[in-house]
Amino acid sequence: MSVDPRPPASPEAAQPILGLMNGFRASKALFSAVELGLFDWLDKMPASTGDLAAEHGLATHALERLLGYLASQSLIVRDDDGRWRNLPVAERFLRAESPETLTGYILYSDRILYRLWGNLSDALREGTNRWTQEFGEKDDIFDHFFASTEEKERFLQGMHGLGLLSSPSVAEIIEPGRFRRLADWGGGTAHLAIAACRRDPGLQAVVWDLPSVQPVAERHVREAGLEHRIRVQAGNFFNDHPPEADLISIGRILHDWTESKVRSLLARIYQSLPEGGGLLIMEHVLDADKCGPPGPLLMSLNMLVCTEGRERTAAEYESLVREAGFNTFECRRSGFLDAMLAIK
Give me the torsion for CA of 261, 256, 274, 175, rounded to 10°.
Answer: -160
Q: Which amino acid is at 12?
A: E
Q: Which amino acid is at 329?
A: F
Query: Which value, in Å, is the radius of gyration of the alpha carbons in the chain?
Result: 23
Contact between 282 and 192 under an 8 Å Cβ cutoff? The reply is yes
Note if 255 is an active site residue.
yes
> What is the 3 state secondary structure string of 148-194?
CHHHHHHHHHHHHHHHHHHHHHHHHHCCCCCCCEEEEECCCCCHHHH
Question: Strands 181-185 and 84-86, how do they pair?
Answer: unpaired
Nearest partner of 37 among 75, 94, 79, judged by Cα: 94
Nearest partner of 329 among 316, 338, 341, judged by Cα: 341
Query: Which residue in the list 160, 220, 255, 284 is annotated as catalytic?
Result: 255
Nearest partner of 213 among 195, 239, 240, 186, judged by Cα: 186
Catalytic residues: 255
